[in-house]
Structure 1
Amino acid sequence: MTETVYGGGCLCGWIRYEAIGPANNPHTCSCRQCQRHSGSLTTAWVEFPRDSVSWTGPGGVPSTFRSSEMTSRAFCPKCGSSIGAIDDAPTIELLIGGFDEADQAALRPRFHSFEDRRPRWWHVDTGPDDSGSSEA
């Protein structure tokens, strides 16, 4: 059985990565740290073991900012794009929007963390997949 390789990176392409599946714990989060890190009310994350993620772009490993006792937020030092979080535990959480093919079923969020911090109008649709798409 072959494992899925998920590619992605920042806006300018300086930071690129490959994560070898399976994708673990895809979810959305509305905690205050995620809001400030992304500039969005909600982020969408997926986790991979640290040894399953390779930094493949010309920029190598992303820059980090220590955001709590257990994690650092990762970003591109050139364009400022948020990449994810590099935990002290052997886990890297990547923002789903940075993947080249973010619409894969394995990356679909399954739950929402810190629901009490999300706007009342925001929710994760846990119903059947919507086969339609709209692009801005």
Structure 2
Amino acid sequence: MFYHGGCLCGHIRYQIAGQARDPHTCSCRFCQRHSGSLTQMWIEFDEEQVVWNGEGGMPTLWRSSETSCRAFCRICGSTLGAIDDTPTLAIAVGTLDNPDQPELSPHYHTFKDCRPAWWSLNDE
């Protein structure tokens, strides 16, 4: 299986070989601020499965914690993912060219307690 995606302006592009794992949503404050949304959706891969093949190469990184960096396009500012110090790379599902694939359906939601008090979902 191959996935393709990139940033809003197209400067950063990627290709991923392999099955997506751990599809989930997160509402932690890091994800909220990085994405500009109350919830971010992630899928994970090993770093060696991801090839940054756009003219911009690898995205710009910002160290967001002791174990992870947030990845974004230095041109348009698009959130692309999170790269852990371990070989795990999480891709923001919204950056995929084709995010409408059944295997990308989230299995769980983390940091529900960080959502605003007015947020209520039927899944609770």
TM-score normalised by the shorter chain: which range applies?
A: over 0.9
Picking from 36, 40, 43, the partner of 1:39 is 36
Q: Distance in 2 between matches of 1:8 and 1:122?
A: 31
Show the counterpart of 2:56.
59
Report the Cα offset of residue 48 of structure 1: 0.4
Q: Distance in 2 between matches of 1:19 and 1:124?
A: 33
Residue 85 (structure 2) pairs with residue 88 (structure 1): yes
CA 1:34/1:17 → structure 2, altered by over 3 Å: closer, same or farther? Answer: same
1:69 is paired with a residue whose SS is: coil
Residue 122 (structure 2) pairs with residue 116 (structure 1): no
Q: Distance in 1 between matches of 2:49 and 2:70?
A: 18
Tell me if the contact between 1:84 and 1:94 (Cα under 8 Å) persists in the aligned partners: yes
Report the Cα offset of residue 118 of structure 1: 1.8
CA RMSD of aligned residues (A): 1.5
Residue 70 (structure 2) pairs with residue 73 (structure 1): yes
- TM-superposition CA deviations, 1:10-33 (whole Å, max 9, x none): 000000001112101000000010
Where has structure 1 moved over 6 Å in runs of 4 or more?
A: none
Q: Distance in 2 between matches of 1:124 and 1:113?
A: 16
Q: Distance in 1 between matches of 2:110 and 2:9?
A: 29
Same amino acid, percent of matched pairs: 56
CA 1:17/1:101 → structure 2, altered by over 3 Å: closer, same or farther? Answer: same
Tell me if the contact between 1:112 and 1:124 (Cα under 8 Å) persists in the aligned partners: no
Show the counterpart of 2:103.
106
Q: Distance in 1 between matches of 2:121 and 2:70?
A: 24
- TM-superposition CA deviations, 1:85-116 (whole Å, max 9, x none): 01101010000000000011111111001111
Q: Distance in 2 between matches of 1:62 and 1:124?
A: 36
Normalising by structure 1, what TM-score?
A: 0.86
The code of the aligned residue for 1:88 comes to: D
Gaps of 5+ in 2: none
Higher strand share: 2
